[in-house]
Amino acid sequence: MSERLLVLVRHGQSEWNLKNLFTGWKDPDLTEQGVSEAKDAGRKLKAHGLSFDVAFTSELTRAQHTLKLILDELGQPGLPTSKNLALNERDYGDLSGLNKDDARAKWGEEQVHVWRRSYDVPPPGGESLKDTLARALPYYVQEILPGVLNGQRTLVAAHGNSLRALIMVLEKLTPEGILKRELATGVPIIYRLKADSTVESKLDLAG
């Protein structure tokens, strides 16, 4: 049995990350820095001797572009890839496209903080983190995890909140614990799993 390898990467910096906008399901591309972060992620994975059998990403450009740049660095541009909205970023609803400071001016600092940092309170017309988990986790369990357990070396390039859904399960975090977890852009997290799908080892390639 080959290793049960799962690597998660949040997309590189997007144009709207740079502008401090709520992005959600809007579809800006990477900045120059984001491109650099994605390429660097690929180089780090290559330096660790990693290659992959399959990849997963969202239906949003910034995640797909990140994945493409990583695979190019790894010399695996034709890797079989599944794209699914289950891995999309959390939908920020009426906040999407707004500057975070403008949103605070409109709804108040405390209300915006609740929307951003509570587990189960959605912004108007959008999703809470709990809602995001509700679509990302079944996809992980049904589509991603079985391949990992069968020895398919798997790379997932997605978003801060959809990846936090996966990390919540992998690291057995509480709702409070996952809220405190921040994911840096373009930083691979390497998990090796046991046969029962729990984590055997974890390596964060930050820095």
Tell me the binding residues for substrate. Answer: 10-17, 23-24, 62, 89-92, 100, 116-117, 160-161
Distance CA 13, CA 69 (A): 13
Which pair of tokens denotes residue 30?
A: 């990477």
CB 27 within 8 A of CB 54: no
Binding site feature residues: 10-17, 23-24, 62, 89-92, 100, 116-117, 160-161
Alpha-carbon distance values, 180 to 88, 89, 144, 173 (Å):
20, 17, 25, 10
Residue 32 among the catalytic residues: no
CB 167 within 8 A of CB 67: no
Catalytic residue among 37, 65, 73, 89: 89
3-state secondary structure 15-47: HHHHCCECCCCCCCCECHHHHHHHHHHHHHHHH
Residue 89 among the catalytic residues: yes
Catalytic residue among 11, 73, 127, 159: 11
Active site residues: 11, 89
